Amino acid sequence: MDSSFPDFLNLEERYTPIEKGVRKAARAFVQKEIEPIIADAFLKGEFPTSIIPKVASLGFLGPTLPKKYGGMDLGDIAYGLMLQELEAGDSGIRSFVSVQGALCMYPIFRYGSEEQRMRWLPQMAKGELIGCFGLTEPDAGSDPGGMSTTAKPTEKGWEISGRKMWITNGTLADLAVVWAKHSETDEVLGFVLEKGMEGFSAPEMEGKLSLRASVTSELVMDKVQVPDANRLPTAQGLGAPLSCLTQARFGIAWGTLGLAIDCYREALQYTKEREQFGRPIAGFQLTQAKLVQLLCDITGAQGMLYHMGKAKEAGTLTHQQVSMAKRVCCELGIRAAREARSMLGGSGILADFHCQRHSMNMESVITYEGTHEVHTLILGREITGLNAFS
Ligand code: TGC
Ligand code: FAD
């Protein structure tokens, strides 16, 4: 499939050589390593672990972190373009990379001590240690402040008990960043739990009809003894995990833009080749209206993300702006996948094509990292000054 997309905003002239280079490397990786295997992995419900060393060797794990910790010191637009290409391949691949970088390496970098950073980050960048992020619980999803996992101080450190669910990479992970409430003060604290700690297990969740090429797990913690050396010392309060979500949501917005572009390209190619009533279905006005609506919405999202990327690089991007990006791009992704599927007719439901897999994946992506409704209410609070959550 042609990998180009119309550049109505002339963004190509704004992207730097580094940004274009990262995008090119990610696109080549997806074409060579993901496209040939992804339909099968999705149907089997397996995350293709064989790609981990390749993703790592390209520097895609924690790429915005300083080189000292194994990162590439990459800017936020280059990072976004990388995720755009990865999610055009599959949301499960982008999820793996997002969780490792934005939800496990980032909290260790931001809230960890220098010793903790050096202990874990370089190996995580090499893909030798895999991480996950445990915030959601069976009874605390949209409202993580309602978590019941506790961290009780002991003589040597902490005793952690509770259960997390829906945790991407959980069963694969060597390290889990786990959020728990101090048993006495109720303050939210962050810990790094390691595979093999007594009382800690991560069974895989079965039966997903979405994000099938991704590992999703429970984290079960039964009086796990965690040394104080594994507590992230500056993570204090709910704002700490929420700040990690801001990093990941920014990446998801770029990723779902890539997914929408992939759906557009697939629909354009198919409708130009497929003939009914003696001519290509792309020639029908209703088909053109669908393609043009996607073109307009994708172009608008590209402009928004470019400016947000610049703001993030300048350090001025707010978490409310990121909520807008996540909300707009997820809504775009889900609509693009459904519209593309409609343009492919019956063929659209086959795994040989991308759009139905993307559509099923989008049901997870529009739910995790804050549902569509949660982002609506974050923005509602911003413009009205009234808090709908409490
Ligand atoms: P609220 O009072 O709004 O906030 C508490 C403190 O946190 C600050 N804050 C943020 N800081 C940085 N980034 C953000 N996004 C922030 N949102 C809030 C806030 O300023 C405040 O600070 P302070 O100093 O005043 O105390 O807290 P609330 O309890 O009212 O919650 C609000 C709400 C609903 C927006 C929040 O709980 C929320 O975002 N809920 C959604 C939960 C969610 O997104 N979970 C995601 C789990 S991880 C995941 O899904 C990974 S999927 C990964 C993959 O596979 O790709
Ligand atoms: P609920 O919070 O129970 O929401 C159910 C419905 O109620 C939604 O429509 C929601 O929008 C609505 N709702 C809730 N509150 C309000 C309100 N105040 N006003 C209006 N509507 C409301 N979590 C992690 O911690 N780490 C991970 O790695 C991770 N990976 C995930 C991977 C997958 C595949 C999935 C599906 C989820 C993952 N999650 C992860 C969990 C994800 O973040 C939660 O599913 C999400 O935050 C929603 O929580 P919930 O599923 O409990 O839904």
* Type of residue numbered 314: A
In a domain, 390, yes or no: no
pLDDT at 63: 98
| Structure confidence at residue 82 (pLDDT) | 98
- Domain span at residue 203 reads 131-236
- Which tens digit of pLDDT belongs to each residue from 139-187? 999 999 999 999 999 999 999 999 999 999 999 999 999 999 999 999 9
The verdict on residue 1 lying in a domain is no
Say yes or no: 190 and 92 in one domain: no
Residues of the chain with pLDDT under 70: none
214 with 346, same domain: the answer is no
Protein residue whose Cα sits closest to atom 39 of ligand 2: 166
Q: What is the 3-state secondary structure (H, E, C) of the chain?
A: CCCCCCCCCCHHHCCCHHHHHHHHHHHHHHHHHHCCCHHHHHHHCCCCHHHHHHHHHCCCCCCCCCHHHCCCCCCHHHHHHHHHHHHHHCHHHHHHHHHHHHHHHHHHHHHCCHHHHHHHHHHHHCCCCCEEEECCECCECCCHHHCCCEEEECCCEEEEEEEEEEEECHHHCCEEEEEEEECCCCCEEEEEEECCCCCEECCECCCCCCCCCCCEEEEEEEEEEEEHHHEEEEEECCHHHHHHHHHHHHHHHHHHHHHHHHHHHHHHHHHHHCEECCEEHHHCHHHHHHHHHHHHHHHHHHHHHHHHHHHHHHCCCCHHHHHHHHHHHHHHHHHHHHHHHHHCHHHHHCCCCCHHHHHHHHHHHCCCCCCHHHHHHHHHHHHHCCCCCC
For the chain, the domain total comes to 3
Query: Alpha-carbon distance 334 to 42, whole Å?
Result: 18
Instruction: Give a yes or no: residue 2 inside a domain.
Output: no
Pocket test for ligand 1, best of 242, 250, 259, 366 (most atoms within 8 A of CB): 242
| pLDDT, position 3 | 74
Return the CATH number at 215: 2.40.110.10
Examine the domain organization and report whether 224 and 256 are in the same domain. no
C-beta 319 within 6 A of ligand 1 = yes
Do 371 and 269 lie in one domain? The reply is yes
pLDDT averaged over the chain?
98
Residue from 245, 320, 373, 374 to probe ligand 1 pocket by mutation (most atoms less than 8 Å from CB)? 245
Final residue before a domain boundary, out of 236, 255, 279: 236
Q: Which of 90, 125, 160 is the last residue of a domain?
A: 125
Each residue of 82-93: pLDDT tens digit? 999 999 999 999
**222 in the same domain as 352:** no
Tell me if 302 sits within 8 A of 257, measured CB to CB.
Answer: yes
User: What is the per-residue pLDDT for 9?
Assistant: 96
179 and 202 fall within a common domain = yes
35 is a domain residue: yes
Pair (210, 228) in one structural domain: yes
User: Is residue 377 located within the same domain as residue 245?
Assistant: yes
Ligand nearest to the CA of 236: 1
Domain boundary among 236, 254, 289: 236
Whether residue 16 sits in one domain with residue 99: yes
Q: Are residues 179 and 274 in the same domain?
A: no
CATH number of the domain enclosing 100: 1.10.540.10
Any idea what the CATH number is for the domain that residue 328 is in? Answer: 1.20.140.10
* 389 within domain boundaries: no
Beta bridge partner(s), residue 192? 177
Domain identity same for 87 and 222: no
Q: Is residue 212 part of a domain?
A: yes
Please state, in angstroms and rounded to a whole number, the distance separating the CA atoms of residues 172 and 212: 15
Q: Whose CA is nearest to atom 36 of ligand 1?
A: 143
369 and 263 inside one domain: yes
From the CA of 166, the nearest ligand is 2
